[in-house]
């Protein structure tokens, strides 16, 4: 009857992990991400050197090769940030880890730094997908694909179903 006290802990807002331009996931030049096999989300083209936490949560994965970070949000959404395409082959070179698995983070916490010059020398495509890997449990709303964003802007809303 009254919606004054609407429950909001079932909604997770994901903010851009970088300053840059958003790309529809279907347009990310990697079949695994473009087909949404890993989950629903969005990609980013960016010029900076730091990847930031898109929400409050717990670090559940830091790949040994440092090319990917997993975060579980406070509402249980499992977020994967995959830094660049084909970066697993670098075996951690060009990445600096700023967090550890198990760490609790707040939105905007620096996660990984990249050596952009090294990536350029290796001809690495730095398009960075961010997906909700357990998207089947959530209503995913991707906001404003194809626009310039900062780390202060919400790009995905995940509502528990």
Q: Which of 117, 102, 108, 130 is nearest to 42 (CA)?
A: 130
Rounded average pLDDT over 71-79: 96
- Average pLDDT over the chain reads 93
Residues annotated catalytic, as ranges: 82
End-to-end Cα separation, the chain, in angstroms: 21
Instruction: Confirm whether 2 is domain-assigned.
Output: no
Q: Measure the CA angle with vertex 87, ends 76 and 149; round to 5°.
A: 60
Q: Is the pLDDT of residue 93 over 90?
A: yes
Instruction: Confirm whether 36 is domain-assigned.
Output: yes
Instruction: Confirm whether 4 is domain-assigned.
Output: no
**Under a CB-based contact definition with an 8 Å cutoff, are residues 101 and 125 in contact?**
no
Instruction: Confirm whether 132 is domain-assigned.
Output: yes
Instruction: Confirm whether 6 is domain-assigned.
Output: no
Domain count, the chain: 1
Instruction: Confirm whether 79 is domain-assigned.
Output: yes
Domain extent for 148: 11-160
Residue 22 has a pLDDT of: 97
Binned at pLDDT 50, 70 and 90, residue 2 comes out as very low
Rounded average pLDDT over 77-98: 97
Query: pTM, whole model, 2 decimals?
Result: 0.93
Instruction: Confirm whether 65 is domain-assigned.
Output: yes
């Amino acid at each position: 009857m009254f919606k004054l006290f609407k429950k909001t802990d079932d909604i997770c807002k994901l903010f851009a992990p970088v300053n840059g331009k958003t790309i529809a996931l279907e347009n990310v030049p990697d079949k695994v991400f473009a087909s949404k096999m890993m989950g629903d989300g969005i990609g980013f083209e960016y010029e900076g050197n730091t990847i930031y936490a898109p929400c409050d949560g717990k670090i559940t994965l830091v790949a040994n090769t440092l090319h990917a970070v997993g975060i579980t949000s406070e509402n249980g959404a499992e977020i994967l940030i995959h830094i660049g395409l084909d970066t697993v082959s670098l075996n951690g070179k060009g990445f600096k880890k700023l967090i550890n698995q198990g760490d609790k983070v707040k939105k905007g916490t620096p996660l990984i730094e990249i050596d952009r010059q090294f990536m350029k020398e290796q001809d690495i495509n730095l398009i960075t997908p961010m997906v909700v890997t357990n998207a089947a449990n959530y209503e995913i709303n991707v906001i404003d694909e194809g626009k310039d964003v900062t780390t202060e802007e919400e790009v995905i809303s995940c509502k528990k179903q």
